Structure 1
């Protein structure tokens, strides 16, 4: 059943954002049942029945959690508790729909935070974080090629993996909170941006610089990337 914060008395989720509610409910279930990283959850089908939702809806919620490291979806194997479940920051299901001003403010905040994190990643190049960053970029390329609607979640995870590559768990949690709590704003930003290929190529360029250990160039590339997004979003909002 859903926790009180994500359900009506009938047990059905609030409809403002079903995927966020489900993500919160699954994370609450993991904590309530004292599950540990690596423990296997029920199948997607069983979880969907448990939470009284359609299988595609359940899968989308799990993908949101996967993007934050809360769960791991292994093809042909199942759903497992992820490494980050003990420090995950969950969204507020009653959070209001984002305004235009909120979208720009979020991007401007990221503009202040993420370039130094990219520079740190290029300096430290944590092996696990680097592997995750490269794998996420590869998954993004697949999503672009196949027009997979989950691209936006993969893109959010990409920015998170850069923080992980920096080897600083606090900074990784800061990015977690930005991209997960504000997931709906991020989805709207990506919709407004519209150019999936350009976004991917900029991510690829940032990755190459981090892998090469070019600290200043990685920082500058992240700044330029976010500046480009801010400019496009401003133009679309004022159009």
Structure 2
């Protein structure tokens, strides 16, 4: 790989811009491939900026641009004074857009409608597969949600956020129980897309106890291998959330 000359005017400048963008994309892909070839995982260090630039035969600013692109995708992490490390998304196939705007009511409805089509089937597969370690994590997520409800539960906005995060984690854990990493990554992506709205959805739903009861019944069906009932419980639960969103105003 090599840098293209800069400073061209008119149409030539536009072509140079396209080439630079293509070079940055190719560099980012090459670094991602380097991570895979070396079998590096999250938290592992990669070579520093200048050695990488020398390895790929490009200028340091161009190499930095490619690495920042990977950082924005969660594939790399820059740690000030320490170096460059493999990020949590390095081996994922499905990655959320970190720069996505907050969803409108219409987008939330579309998102929940999509989940209604897919997550009941995920719940059914989870009940049939019941991957042991993931099932234990699901039970733990349910217990965490329980800890935020009732007389002994903490009060305030932090508790609301904690309960909302625990509820999201239940859905993520259900997908993990299927043993299918792509399904798990897909649900993770949905969760991140409207994570900021979960507390508001919970308040609109109006009854944390009922919400917990629905999750508890769903988890019991999955743990018991009752896949058809698990599908129905998931469908009913998401349909209720969608109805709540439909009746509410725009997210604040």
Superposition deviation, residue 92 in structure 1: 2.2
Contact kept, 8 Å, 2:105 with 2:245, in 1: the verdict is no
Pick one of 105, 110, 113 that aligns with 1:108: 113
- Specify the alignment match of 1:137 in structure 2: 142
- Within 2, Cα distance between the matches of 1:159 and 1:233? 18
**Aligned: 1:228 with 2:234:** no
* Runs of 4+ that moved beyond 3 A: 34-39, 81-86, 185-188
- Within 1, Cα distance between the matches of 2:119 and 2:43? 30
- Specify the alignment match of 1:177 in structure 2: 189
Counterparts of 1:67-86 in structure 2, within 5 Å, are 86=91
- Within 1, Cα distance between the matches of 2:146 and 2:89? 24
Pick one of 98, 104, 122 that aligns with 2:103: 98
Residue-by-residue CA offset, 1:72-125 (whole Å, 9 max, x unaligned):
xxxxxxxxx9987743734423x3232111121111111111000000000000
Q: Structure 1 residues 215-224 or 177-186, which shifts more? A: 177-186
Cα pair distance change 1:108/1:90, threshold 3 Å? closer
**Aligned: 1:160 with 2:172:** yes
* TM, length-normalised to structure 1: 0.61
- Within 1, Cα distance between the matches of 2:200 and 2:221? 28
**Aligned: 1:192 with 2:204:** yes
Superposition deviation, residue 237 in structure 1: 3.3
SS in 2 for 1:96: coil
- Within 1, Cα distance between the matches of 2:89 and 2:166? 16
Q: Which runs of 5+ in 1 are unaligned?
A: 1-30, 40-80
Contact kept, 8 Å, 2:89 with 2:95, in 1: the verdict is no
Q: Which runs of 5+ in 2 are unaligned?
A: 1-34, 45-85
RMSD: 2.7
Cα pair distance change 1:105/1:186, threshold 3 Å? farther
Cα pair distance change 1:82/1:144, threshold 3 Å? farther
- Specify the alignment match of 1:26 in structure 2: none
- Within 1, Cα distance between the matches of 2:173 and 2:167? 10
Q: Which has the larger radius of gyration?
A: 2
